[in-house]
Amino acid sequence: MTINNNNIFGAFTLGEVRSGRLTGDWLNKESVANYGWFGGGTTPGPTLVSRVDRIDFSNDSPSALVRGSLSQARRGLSATGNSNYGWFGGGSIPTPAVVSTVDRIDFSNDSSTASPRGPLSSLTRTLAATGNSNYGWFGGGTTFPGPSKSTVERIDFSNDSATASVRGPLSSTRYNSAATGNSNYGWFGGGSLPGATSTVERIDFSNDSSTASVRGLLSSARRTLAATGNSNYGWFGGGYGPTLPYQSTVDRIDFSNDSSTASVRGSLNAGRGYLAATGNSNYGWFGGGTTFPGPIVGTVNRIDFSNDSPSASPRGSLSASRYQLAATSGVLNIRRQKAGNYGWFGGGYAPATTRSTVDRIDFSNDSATALVRGPLSSPAGRRYGFAATGNSNYGWFGGGDIPVVATVDRIDFSNDSPSALVRGPLSQERRGLSATGNSNYGWFGGGQAGSPVVATVDRIDFSNDSALALLRGPLSSVRYASAATGNSNYGWFFNGSNPAFIPNQQSTVDRIDFSNDSSLALPRAILTSPTAKEKHAATGNSNFGWFGGGSSPATSRVFRINFSNDSALALLRGSLNAPSGRAELAATGNSNYGWFGGGGPGPVSTVDRIDFSSDSVSASPRGLLSLGRSELEATSNTNK
């Protein structure tokens, strides 16, 4: 069994795996995360099938194995799933009658016939589907020979015997489209209106009663395509435009910048349509389809998400050639969740002294006082004004004051009682810096080195963290006492002081492209008064960043940046529970909430929680840190 820093199981750390504390249910989830299931469709003849094939992602060269079957043979269906089950909905059966049937496959017992669950609310075929861990959204389609539809229906995975509920519609009717998504949004692209379209629409899962918003475009109008994705990008492949022949083009949508036209990446090994796709965090598999006027195919192509410009790699094949099928996998939605069960708040300034204390907040029981864990390293660990980031397994705290240091401490989340280990240093001693990162690297930017304020960006390689941090970037301008957050692909650095420590002269947001971090960071939104300009804190999820508190002037306001439209002004949302303002605090979070702790004046031990799905209200007071302190830092075991 292979475990890596992607930690698709979110709540479980590498330490828990090594210690043997995970059994049964987790092992089943780990197993199903290695497979993709392709169901239904039409074989040459034509003959409709109920067959379900399973691809082994770790050994995808042999032909797929035949597993159980759907409850009835049908084509033109769609599928989504979570870590335990896959739901196949809609389609048509011989005559050709359109159905509303929803079948559920049990990934841990996939040799059985799928279990019929609650139906869709209406008869639909050639629809598209995506979902997160809790719900599946089925959109568009046609009643054939009736009209095309804009309807979106939602299946509640925890109550899937009920009829799917109708949610907000797509912005236009469409069928033969494709869909993918992450934990917060679903993107529906291409299809027929009835003419071929390149439009991409986005459903906000947290506000799915609204009409889907039109985003960017595919590189060309096409229909009968397929899509898959990971947390940050969606790949749309195959299909045909206003006229035949079928295309092999693969387009990539950047979820953080989804108003732009999709970029053309590699290609499938041949033009085809009516295919299906699924994937995991690293690869996407496109299977089946027709090359009309050529034959129906069973070919499976694999796209390498990290190198998606070459042609897709031919892998094995389905058990039989077929088209108008659907696919899902056991990893689609585990990998999209930035789970995270704990947050660690370290160091800081308490009255008359600095601290090396590390507190741990239990996100599932955040009303209790935080537990004191192992301290930062000593003596350099007794510091404040530093920065922190982390991945699923470790947290790195770098730089800081008393004295000004380049020290980097690492906390082991699976064994956080001992003192933090000293790792490789930053490139220079500095304080007042900020940090963000993804699963593999951490970027530390800005701060004061000696007397000057700098724009320096250092990158720590988490897999080789004993080495000296590498100089990257820099930021577009020098900044001190800024805040940072990010997703898997980019990091955003908010505001800060200028060289003369005048806060109001530094109101920009810089964005670092993690895949091209040697370049100068790009200035994005301008944050105008009355936004605090320094000594604030930031956290975020895959799609948005929230920054709150700060000074000059002192504020408790919370602002939100939309990562997919980060050139726009940040939106004012709710506020922290500090009417007179709160500065020098720290923040961390998971996919659903952000926790802001400590700060001044005081200093205070208060922890406030922001609900990302309802961020326009005041933050909710939760438990306390073990002691009041300011200029502390925080991270969590949230996968990026």
Report d(CA 594, CA 611) in Å as an integer: 7
Could you state, in order of their start, the residue ranges of all structural domains in the chain? 33-329, 342-636
Does the pLDDT at position 30 exceed 80?
Answer: no
pLDDT, mean over the chain: 87
3-state secondary structure of 148: strand
501's torsion region: left (phi>0), alpha (psi -120 to 50) or beta? left
For 487, the token pair is 């997703």
Q: Is residue 585 over pLDDT 80?
A: yes
Rounded Cα–Cα distance for residues 503 and 482 (Å): 10
Of residues 318 and 144, the one with the higher pLDDT is 318
Instruction: For domain 342-636, give the fold.
Output: Neuraminidase (2.120.10)
Residue 502, pLDDT above cutoff 70: no
The mean-pLDDT minimum among 206-215, 328-337, 371-380, 631-640 falls in 328-337
Q: What are phi and psi of 132, to 5 degrees?
A: -125, -160
pLDDT given for residue 33 in this prediction: 66
- Give the amino acid at 78: S
Average pLDDT, integer, range 296-311: 92
- Whole-number pLDDT of residue 403: 85
Cβ atoms < 10 Å from Cβ of 293 = 8
Distance set, CA 354 to CA 385, 400, 403, 439 (Å): 10, 11, 11, 30
pLDDT mean over 179-200: 93
> Pick from 261, 260, 259, 258: which is nearest to 249 by CA?
261
pLDDT at 504: 44
Q: What are phi and psi of 525, to 5 degrees?
A: -60, 150
Among candidate residues 375, 376, 374, the one with its CA nearest the CA of residue 399: 376
Is it true that 33-329 and 342-636 share their CATH fold? yes
Q: Can you spell out the DSSP letters for 264-298?
A: EEEE-SS--BS-EEEE-SSEEEEE--B-TTS-B--
For position 592, what pLDDT does the model report? 82
Bridge partner list, 595: 588, 609
> Radius of gyration of the chain from Cα atoms?
25
pLDDT band at 84 (very low <50, low <70, confident <90, very high): confident
Portion of the chain with pLDDT greater than 70, in percent: 89
Higher-confidence residue of 351 and 584: namely 584
Least confident of 184-188, 205-209, 487-491, 594-598: 205-209
SS3 299: strand
Between residues 169 and 529, the one the model is more confident about: 169
Average pLDDT over residues 400-419: 90
What digits encode the pLDDT tens for the residues 328-358?
997 654 444 444 589 999 999 887 777 889 9
Return the pLDDT at 94.
83
Please name the helix (run of DSSP H) or strand (run of DSSP E) that holds residue 499, with its range, or none.
none
The pLDDT confidence band at residue 133, using thresholds 50, 70 and 90, is confident
Q: Among 25-34, 329-338, 382-391, name the one with the lowest average pLDDT.
A: 25-34
Mean pLDDT of 16-42: 56
pLDDT at 18: 25
CATH of domain 33-329: 2.120.10.80
- Global pTM reads 0.58
The average pLDDT across 389-403 equals 91
3-state DSSP assignment of residue 504? helix
> Which pLDDT value is given to residue 299?
96
88-97 average pLDDT score: 90
Q: How far apart are CA 502 and CA 510, in angstroms?
A: 18
| Beta-ladder partners of 142 | 125, 148
Section 462-490 average pLDDT: 92
Q: Are 446 and 480 within 8 A, CB to CB? A: yes
Choose the weakest-confidence range: 223-227, 305-309, 366-370.
Answer: 305-309
Three-state DSSP state, 170: coil
Which H helix or E strand runs over 15?
helix 14-19
Residue in 161, 607, 86 with CA at minimum distance from that of residue 343: 607
Residue of 15, 10, 627, 630 lying closest to 370 (CA atoms): 627
Check whether 31 has a pLDDT greater than 70. Answer: no
User: What's the pLDDT band for 498 if we cut at 50, 70, 90?
Assistant: low
Average pLDDT over residues 392-403: 90
